[in-house]
Amino acid sequence: MTRKNRRLMFGALGLSALFGATALVLLALQENMMFFRSPSDLASGSVNLERAIRLGGLVEPGSVVKSDGNAEVTFRITDGQASIQVDYRGILPDLFREGQGVIVEGRMSPSGQFAADEVLAKHDENYMPKEVADALKEGGHWKGEESATQ
């Protein structure tokens, strides 16, 4: 084996190892990535419901129901075209209100409701999560100014 062939072989092995490591990193990241979806995306059925997702939209006015004895809350999230019922057990953020933008993280249950593990509310009166604003703009229900998103 000549020197040139040996260098080519080591180069090919190095590239193979680099591609293998990159593939493993991307595979690990894909399993942990959580994608943002709107209620319309879930209603269309184009979403893999077995994975954890972020669901964003506006809390539908009049839909928040809190249980008396425990910290269970149900509410609906809408993007103007579709709405999804969300079940959450825990303490809601202080800024959680009807008609405000929220993002919930969790999974769809077999009964068709979204079981949230975490609820994220906007942090000031001028902020709307970019994903929620984009979903509302696509649905034609955006009422805020372009400068409201960050």
18 lies in some domain: no
Q: How many CB atoms lie within 10 A of CB 109?
A: 12
The predicted model gives 17-40 an average pLDDT of 87
Q: Taking Cα atoms as reference points, which of 106, 107, 60 lies closest to residue 82? A: 60
If one counts the domains in the chain, the total is 1
Render pLDDT for 1-14 as a digit per residue (tens, 0 to 9).
889 999 999 999 99
CATH number for the domain spanning 74: value is 2.40.50.140
Render pLDDT for 53-104 as a digit per residue (tens, 0 to 9).
899 888 999 999 998 777 899 999 998 888 999 999 988 888 888 888 889 9
State the chain's maximal CA–CA distance in angstroms: 81
pLDDT at residue number 147: 42
The answer, yes or no, to whether residue 18 has pLDDT greater than 80, is yes
Q: Is 88 annotated among the ligand-binding residues?
A: no
76 lies in some domain: yes
The answer, yes or no, to whether residue 27 has pLDDT greater than 80, is yes
